[in-house]
């Protein structure tokens, strides 16, 4: 072991953060031409500034462009008489985006690129005024306005990432600023790295410039402070780096324990730089904590991710770095610590940092708390010309230096969803990643199969957000696509997936707006003239006033008592989708993990696990059952949540085990009806680590005269309890007399798939091979029903005409007192039904008495069946608001789309309306599933036997939707 090095007699680091900084905007970029760095302008509006912080904190959320920082201070005692071999360096941990610095009128350096620490040698400039300092830093945000429609290449700096798109484009000195007193030989930012295995420690050092005659004594201690290795590195004079392997007499005294989420063991390296003639007088000291871990591929067909040889499943949450309180992606340590703890309580074991880097303490805490990190490099849709390759290589080299220092960083992606990634750059990135991150999984791009080079990735990755009805088919098609790749033996992981939107807490957010209007923070915009609401802070998600209006409309039309069930069911819908899709993923052990969107709400959408105010949206008991290391999962026939009465249901119980041990469990399964346990089963499940065990189970069912919930509850020792609500639906009641409308058949063009139907993820992902939308042909649904054609005698009352087109004859029939059901579509006369992603908003279910389409106490059943059973192969709804029908119809199942919309869009899946003296019902649901057929019967009975709806579509309005046969004038 080396002898201890004497601590320096004076401080070697002097913080400049938190001092009396000032800030001056430079909106016309005059400062460079007028030499503000040499002589700050006295007549300009200097305002107090926060460092670290953003320019927006001082100049408002609407700031764009360039601003100058100024700090007047003094060197600390003892720093004005430095030795001849010493240097004074200005260090900035992060600046957005292009920074140039002057000290005492002398230019000392320039750095471009966010998220990267940098240093300038400022020795002569700092000493030029006897210790007095005037520091000027010009920061150019490199403003990135949104591209024009149809343009996919981003503006701004090529390393800006994605933070500006869904948050605010932060600007300024958002990382700490310090002065460092060093020798001429100094380690560059992030230039110290440890690569360790259980029996070997390798220390790598990069110098800022060629080194002098120095020695670097070091010690390594364990978590208890016990020394386990030590020595001294003696780099060759003039070298730019050094590597030292602790082996032989310097080998670790004990085998190093591995780092993992369950046991995040860390070791501490202390390293000093001293001149060789005074080896015990440190000129510079560094402390670095490191862990021993290896991430690799293995298991059956190499489709598992192995951490230290054991299979793990990544269960991550996406993080865009959106931080309303801080604007920059700079959450303080206490906040990070609390968020990690809450995420772990909910079952998450990873965070995917989506094209953003956090401050160092974020990664340090992930190391300490055992949180896995997936680091995406901040490159998104940026220009990719060959002339930019040197700049990309410089930026990427800095990103790799950050990544390699942390055991928590287990996956690294070079870009995200970049259609034009330069292949030469991709190859260089891949080869460099192999060298810099040898025990970390890497991929040149995280996106879609078709966008990525399968030879430049350790993982096959997809970014798919889709409806539950297509999810089963997507997983099947994804596996088929992987099997067709040249090397199908790699893990499949989803870097972004499974999203839902929430309904806002309007009362709380309005209170936040009032607080902002009182001047507590920059809001970014003024209140609208005549508006009764205050201006919104920049971070509040869009459409709040419109959502408040929708709440008022719900109360007006269906009473105050209808509002709370709507909010509760919006939450239930989101949880249904997240749990269903997650459990389907986990049922296959070849699915190595997934990352759910998103940590917290952003201005464009309320997709977060936390809301705008930082409150958790889902409690641990709601998420942990399907997100824990080991999870019990129910699979029903066809994955349906509705069951046929009095018919035994053959279900399967799965045990997905990615815990740290093999499991030999006895699962207790309770079947609960009306709060009482109706049946109890015990089944054995033996699941080695990294596998899924399965066992069949038969559920005995019973008759029901209304939708009746059956709760299946599963538990086993050491595994979180999970439960699922299934619904026994009544047998079909009496069928009213009905006729099938003999309208024009669908044309070839009407049956052709559109953009969103041809590929998953709204048309951007994998081609849909297994999934096809249902074609609702009345004659196929009711093959034995009599036909009725326009111009013939009207059917006898109360017969219902079922059609797929609103023709002139049918409209006239309804206006005269007839009754009809339209199976909506995008076809002519089909009321322009559009594709709707169920994750993009929230449903409204309206109960309407015991005989209504949705009966009393049937709302929860409709919500539970909506995202899959009722929409298995149907994802279209009628755009009620766009058609001007919102107040003219009585919705039974309505959908309020809010995602990325300033004004919510209202769609209806089922509605009724009076039309003249008759009644029209419209449905776009899948009526070829058991639940769909049940609901179809209720719709028909309501149309035939129910009272006329209060809402009415005027004759002149309904005629706008009339089918125009080919060749006929509109």
- The CA-CA-CA angle for residues 844, 586, 599, to 5°, reads 55
Please report the DSSP string for 542-595 in residue order: S-HHHHHHHHHHHHHHH-GGGHHHHHHHHHHHHHHHHHHHHHHHHTSTTEEEEE
Residue 245 within a domain: yes
> Which residues lie closer than 8 Å to 24 by C-beta, 6 or more apart?
36, 40, 41, 44, 45, 46, 47, 67, 68, 70
The residue written with tokens 């990719």 in the block is 384
Residue 317 within a domain: yes
> Which residues lie closer than 8 Å to 866 by C-beta, 6 or more apart?
573, 838, 843, 845, 893, 909
Q: How many structural domains is the chain composed of?
A: 6
Do 800 and 854 sit in the same domain of this protein? yes
Please report the DSSP string for 171-193 in residue order: -B--S-EEEEEEESS-EEEEEEE
Do 461 and 328 sit in the same domain of this protein? yes
Q: Quick one: 900 exposed, middle or buried, by C-beta within 10 A (0-12, 13-18, 19+)?
A: middle
User: What CATH number does residue 75 fall under?
Assistant: 2.60.120.260
End position of a domain, from candidates 154, 183, 212 = 183
Instruction: Give me 636's structure tokens.
Output: 């029903």
CB distance 14 to 82 below 8 Å? no
User: What CATH number does residue 390 fall under?
Assistant: 3.20.20.80
- CA dist 498 and 478 (Å) reads 15
Residue 300 within a domain: no
- pLDDT for the residue 2: 46
Do 785 and 878 sit in the same domain of this protein? yes
- pLDDT for the residue 531: 32
Judged by DSSP in three states, 533 sits in coil
Q: What pLDDT digit, counting tens, does each position of 557-582 carry? A: 999 889 999 999 999 999 999 999 99
Do 445 and 576 sit in the same domain of this protein? yes
Judged by DSSP in three states, 360 sits in helix
Q: What pLDDT digit, counting tens, does each position of 224-240 carry? A: 999 999 999 999 999 99
Nearest CA-CA partner of 793 in 811, 815, 809, 778? 809
Please report the DSSP string for 59-107 in residue order: H-TT--SEEEEEEEEEPPTT-SS--TTEEEEEEES--BSEEEEEETTEE
- pLDDT for the residue 241: 97
**Enclosing H/E stretch for 340:** helix 333-345
Do 869 and 828 sit in the same domain of this protein? yes
Do 553 and 583 sit in the same domain of this protein? no
- pLDDT for the residue 532: 35
End position of a domain, from candidates 607, 625, 643 = 625
Do 494 and 550 sit in the same domain of this protein? no
Residue 302 within a domain: no
Residue numbers in the chain where pLDDT is lower than 70? 1-10, 519-535, 966-970
Do 177 and 196 sit in the same domain of this protein? no
Do 779 and 906 sit in the same domain of this protein? yes
Q: Which phi and psi angles does 965 have, rounded to 5°?
A: -60, 155
Q: Which domain holds residue 637?
A: 628-728
Do 829 and 880 sit in the same domain of this protein? yes
pTM for the full predicted model: 0.95
Do 177 and 222 sit in the same domain of this protein? no
CB distance 64 to 80 below 8 Å? no
End position of a domain, from candidates 167, 183, 199 = 183
> Which residues lie closer than 8 Å to 831 by C-beta, 6 or more apart?
806, 822, 824, 878, 883, 922, 961
Residue 306 within a domain: no
User: What CATH number does residue 644 fall under?
Assistant: 2.60.40.10
Nearest CA-CA partner of 756 in 605, 933, 876, 593? 876
Residue 228 within a domain: yes
- pLDDT for the residue 6: 55
Instruction: Give me 413's structure tokens.
Output: 């992606």
Q: Which phi and psi angles does 288 have, rounded to 5°?
A: -135, 125
- pLDDT for the residue 534: 43
- pLDDT for the residue 701: 84
Residue 494 within a domain: yes
CB distance 587 to 635 below 8 Å? yes
- CA dist 592 and 498 (Å) reads 15
The packing angle between helices 620-627 and 563-586, to 10°, is 20
Do 702 and 799 sit in the same domain of this protein? no
Residue 297 within a domain: no
- Please give the DSSP secondary-structure letter assigned to residue 517: I
SS (H, E, C) 771-822: CCCCCCCHHHHCCCCCEECCCCCCCCCCCEEEECCCCHHHHHHHHCCCEEEE
How would you label 341-378 residue by residue, b for 16+ Cβ within 10 Å and e otherwise? Answer: eebbebbbbbbbbbbbbbbbbbbbbbbbbbbbbbbbbb
């Amino acid at each position: 072991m080396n002898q201890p090095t004497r601590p320096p007699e004076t401080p070697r680091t002097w913080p400049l953060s938190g001092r009396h900084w000032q800030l001056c905007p430079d909106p016309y970029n005059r400062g460079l031409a007028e030499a503000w760095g040499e002589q700050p302008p006295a007549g300009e509006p200097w305002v107090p500034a926060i460092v670290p912080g953003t320019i927006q904190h001082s100049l408002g959320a609407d700031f764009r462009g360039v601003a100058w920082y100024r700090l007047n201070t003094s060197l600390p005692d003892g720093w004005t008489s430095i030795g001849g071999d010493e240097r004074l360096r200005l260090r900035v941990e992060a600046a957005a985006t292009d920074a140039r610095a002057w000290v005492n009128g002398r230019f000392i350096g320039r750095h471009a690129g966010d998220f990267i620490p940098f240093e300038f040698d400022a020795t002569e400039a700092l000493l030029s005024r006897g210790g007095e300092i005037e520091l000027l830093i010009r920061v150019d945000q490199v403003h990135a306005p949104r591209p024009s429609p149809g343009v996919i290449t981003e503006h701004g700096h090529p390393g800006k990432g994605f933070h500006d798109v869904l948050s605010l484009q932060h600007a300024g000195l958002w990382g700490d600023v310090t002065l460092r007193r060093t020798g001429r030989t100094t380690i560059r930012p992030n230039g110290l790295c440890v690569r360790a295995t259980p029996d070997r420690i390798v220390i790598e050092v990069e110098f800022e410039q060629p080194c002098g005659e120095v020695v670097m004594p070091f010690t390594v201690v364990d978590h208890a402070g016990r020394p386990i290795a030590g020595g001294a590195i003696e780099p060759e004079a003039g070298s730019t780096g050094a590597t030292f392997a602790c082996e032989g007499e310097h080998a670790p005294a004990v085998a190093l324990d591995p780092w993992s989420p369950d046991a995040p063991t860390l070791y501490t390296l202390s390293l000093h730089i001293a001149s060789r003639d005074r080896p015990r007088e440190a000129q510079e000291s560094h402390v670095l904590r490191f862990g021993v871990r290896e991430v690799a591929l293995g298991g059956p067909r190499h489709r598992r991710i192995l951490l230290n040889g054991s299979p793990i499943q990544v269960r991550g949450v996406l993080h865009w770095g959106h931080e309303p309180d801080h604007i920059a992606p700079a959450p303080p340590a206490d906040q990070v610590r609390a968020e990690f703890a809450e995420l772990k309580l909910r079952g998450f074991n990873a965070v995917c940092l989506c094209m953003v880097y956090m401050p160092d303490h974020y990664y340090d805490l992930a190391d300490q708390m055992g949180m896995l990190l997936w680091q995406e490099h901040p490159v998104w849709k940026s220009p990719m010309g060959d002339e930019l390759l040197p700049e990309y290589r410089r930026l990427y080299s800095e990103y790799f230096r950050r990544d390699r220092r942390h055991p928590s960083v287990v996956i690294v992606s070079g870009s995200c969803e970049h259609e034009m990634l330069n292949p030469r750059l991709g190859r260089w990135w891949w080869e460099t990643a192999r060298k810099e991150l040898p025990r970390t999984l890497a991929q040149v791009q995280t996106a879609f199969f078709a966008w990525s080079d399968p030879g430049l990735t350790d993982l096959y990755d997809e970014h798919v957000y889709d409806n539950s009805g297509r999810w089963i088919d997507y997983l099947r098609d994804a596996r088929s696509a992987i099997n067709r790749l040249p090397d199908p033996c790699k893990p499949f992981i989803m870097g972004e997936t499974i999203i839902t939107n929430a309904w806002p807490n309007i009362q709380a957010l309005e209170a936040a707006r009032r607080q902002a209007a009182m001047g507590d923070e920059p809001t970014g915009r003024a209140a609208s003239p005549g508006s009764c609401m205050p201006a919104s802070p920049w971070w509040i998600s869009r459409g709040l006033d419109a959502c408040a209006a929708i709440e008022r409309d719900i109360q007006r039309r269906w009473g105050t008592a209808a509002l709370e069930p709507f909010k509760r069911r919006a939450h239930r819908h989101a949880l249904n989708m997240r749990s269903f899709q997650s459990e389907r993923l986990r049922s296959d052990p070849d699915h190595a993990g997934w990352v759910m969107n998103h940590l917290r709400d952003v201005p464009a959408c309320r997709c977060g696990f936390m809301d705008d105010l930082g409150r958790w949206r889902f409690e641990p008991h709601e998420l942990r059952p399907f997100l824990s290391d080991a999870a019990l999962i129910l699979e029903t026939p066809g994955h349906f949540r509705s069951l046929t009465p009095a018919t035994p249901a053959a279900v399967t119980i799965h045990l997905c085990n990615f815990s740290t041990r093999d499991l030999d469990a006895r699962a207790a399964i309770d079947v609960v009806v009306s709060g009482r346990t109706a049946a109890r089963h015990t089944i054995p499940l033996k699941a080695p680590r990294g596998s899924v065990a399965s066992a069949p189970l038969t559920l005995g069912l019973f008759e029901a005269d209304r939708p009746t919930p059956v709760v299946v509850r599963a538990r086993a020792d050491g595994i979180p309890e999970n439960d699922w609500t299934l619904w026994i639906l009544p047998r079909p009641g009496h069928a009213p007399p009905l006729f099938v409308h003999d309208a024009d058949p669908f044309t070839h063009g009407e049956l052709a798939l559109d953009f969103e139907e041809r590929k998953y993820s709204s048309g951007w992902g994998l081609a849909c091979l297994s999934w096809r939308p249902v074609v609702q042909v009345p004659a196929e649904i009711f093959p034995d029903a009599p036909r009725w054609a326009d111009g013939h005698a009207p059917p006898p009352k109360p017969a219902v005409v079922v059609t797929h087109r609103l023709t002139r004859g049918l409209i006239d029939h309804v206006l005269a007192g007839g009754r009809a059901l339209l199976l909506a579509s995008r076809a002519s006369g089909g009321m322009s039904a559009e594709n709707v992603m169920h994750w993009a908003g929230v449903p409204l279910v309206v109960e309407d008495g015991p005989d209504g389409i949705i009966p009393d106490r049937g709302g929860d059943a409709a919500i539970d069946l909506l995202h899959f059973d009722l929409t298995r192969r149907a994802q279209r709804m009628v755009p009620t608001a766009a058609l001007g029908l919102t107040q003219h119809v009585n919705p039974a199942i309505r959908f309020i789309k809010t995602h990325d919309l300033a004004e919510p869009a209202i769609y209806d899946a089922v509605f009724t309306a009076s039309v003249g003296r008759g009644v029209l019902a419209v449905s776009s649901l899948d009526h070829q599933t058991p639940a769909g057929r049940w609901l179809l019967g209720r719709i028909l009975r309501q149309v035939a036997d129910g009272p006329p709806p209060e809402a009415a579509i005027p004759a002149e309005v309904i005629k706008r939707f009339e089918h125009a046969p080919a060749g006929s004038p509109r």
